[in-house]
Structures are given as C-alpha cells and as structure tokens.
Amino acid sequence: MAVEKYVIVSTDTTDKVIKDGPLLWDGISRLDVAAGLQLIKVNAAREGGYTRPSPPVTELNAATLRERIGVGLAESRVFLGRGTPTNPEILAQVRLLTKLTTAYGKLLLDQTDTTDGT
C-alpha cells in the first residue's frame, strides 16, 4: 500500500484553485471529502493546471511593509555611521524615519490594507 500526496480541488473542472493539501493518503483508507470537492494526486493537479490561491492583499502588503522597514533600518545605520550630516541629509533622514514609523505602525495596528505613506 503506497502512500502518495493528494490535494483537494473542486469537482467543477473550471475551478483550478487548490482548496487544501497536500495530504498523504494511501488511496484505500476511508477519507471523507466535503460535497463539491475531490482528491487528486499532486502530479495530476500540476499537469491539470491547478494552482495555489493567491495570498490576500493584506498579507502581501504586510510583507512589503516588513521589507521596507528592513531597508529603512539599514539606511538609518548608514546615516548614523556618517560624520556630521548636511541639512539635506538630515531632511532626507527625517522623511525616512517618518515613512519607517508609518510602516511599523501599520504592521503593529494590523492596518495592512494599503502601504500608503511608507
């Protein structure tokens, strides 16, 4: 009895989004799947053009905010490592810190519907 990887997909063959999985199944043991869904092997899903659902926009935005915070912190370290900054450098740093604070606040308050102001 060979165990293989399966995914759960819709019985509607026009819906090519994987609903769950992968899961291991021997193909014999009882396994109940909700109405309108079916199990297919991972390879068959790949060959059939099934794809994973796209992550929600809020998750993508949160990842973008984390990346921007990382870049901003690195730029701040560079600024602090310089000698006496010029007025334009100070102004640029204040703008950077404002964007950095906005990005951090959006993450902290779970306001990731947009990345505006970051």
Is position 114 within any domain?
Answer: no
Report the C-alpha gap between 60 and 64 in whole angstroms. Answer: 6
Q: Which residues of the chain have pLDDT under 70?
A: 1
Q: What is the pLDDT of residue 1?
A: 62
- Do 18 and 61 lie in one domain? The reply is no
Is position 35 within any domain?
Answer: yes
Task: Tell me the longest C-alpha to C-alpha distance in the chain.
Answer: 73
Q: What total number of domains does the chain contain?
A: 2
Question: pTM above the 0.85 mark?
Answer: no
Is position 116 within any domain?
Answer: no
Range of the domain at 81: 57-108
Cis peptide before 22 (omega within 30 of 0): yes
Report the C-alpha gap between 70 and 89 in whole angstroms. Answer: 19
- Do 66 and 103 lie in one domain? The reply is yes
Is position 78 within any domain?
Answer: yes
- Do 65 and 42 lie in one domain? The reply is no
Q: What is the pLDDT of residue 93?
A: 95
Q: Which SS3 state, helix, strand or coil, does residue 4 take?
A: strand
Q: What is the pLDDT of residue 112?
A: 93
